[in-house]
Amino acid sequence: MPPDLVLKKETILKAVNQYGNDAVIIANLTGKKVKEVNTRTDRRNLGFYGFYMDARDPGYTSTSTALQLETKLYDVKTEKLIWSASSKTLSRAASDQIIDEVIVTVINNLQQNKIIALK
């Protein structure tokens, strides 16, 4: 990870203290793969002419991104690990959007399972 993207402990604690949190959740991107998929029009129902046209159809290319995240929940007072998970997701969205969506999903799940509570 580039040094300018690494949060210092003091920065994390300042944010935690500002909001009076008793726990902090940290997510790290541990893997990223970008995959291009070429899709062609399905013309099988057009018989031999459809097959002929398929050979000339370049189709279209789409890109999807697979991200792997490691998410950990720590107790602020003891700095001990409370909970940890690894997740993988596949999306056509931008990496930042995928990460945000995964974090929201994880936090909602932690709340539903009464591991964390809203203040």
pTM above 0.85, yes or no: no
Token output for 35: 């995959």
Rounded CA separation 117/113 (Å): 9
- Give the residues across from 74 on adjacent strands: 24, 81
Q: What is the mean pLDDT of each run of 10 residues along the chain (119 residues)?
A: 70 89 88 80 58 62 85 92 90 78 89 85
Domain ranges of the chain: 3-112
